[in-house]
């Protein structure tokens, strides 16, 4: 079987599901480890973007090196977006922290 469309339907569906699981688990494992294991807190916008761009190119070269036949690698953009959300989720800059403290003081008075 040289072409994927010549594969039986159940094998095609199973291989599609397995490829989704492998791609997303490899793609999101590093941001999840950085966010929840190593840093244990959300990070600022700029470092999150730098990390996501570096990881995107690493993953792109890895999948091309493994012989991926995709021309656009759109799923890597989706993984990069989700990675940014994981790294930056819950981050509050200094201005919003001050505002929260002021709201807390107003409620106490």
Rounded to two decimals, what is the model's pTM?
Answer: 0.75
pLDDT at 54 over 90: yes
The pLDDT tens digits for 2-23 are 676 677 888 888 988 998 999 8
Residue of 89 and 72 predicted with greater confidence? 89
Q: What is the CA radius of gyration of the chain?
A: 20
Q: Sorting pLDDT into bands at 50, 70 and 90, what band is 101?
A: low
Q: Are 27 and 59 in contact (CB under 8 A)?
A: yes
Residues 91, 65: Cα–Cα separation, whole Å: 35
Sign of torsion, CA 46 48 54 57? negative
Crossing angle between the packed helical segments 9-33 and 45-65, to the nearest 10 degrees: 140
């Amino acid at each position: 079987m040289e072409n994927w469309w010549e594969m039986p339907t159940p094998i095609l569906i199973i291989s599609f599901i397995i490829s989704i699981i492998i791609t997303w688990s490899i793609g999101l494992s590093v941001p999840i480890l950085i966010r929840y294991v190593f840093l244990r807190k959300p990070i600022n916008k700029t470092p999150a973007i730098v990390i996501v761009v570096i990881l995107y190119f690493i993953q792109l070269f890895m999948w091309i090196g493994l012989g991926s036949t995709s021309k656009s690698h759109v799923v890597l953009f989706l993984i990069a977006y989700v990675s940014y959300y994981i790294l930056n989720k819950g981050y509050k800059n200094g201005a919003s922290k001050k505002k929260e403290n002021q709201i807390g003081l107003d409620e106490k008075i």
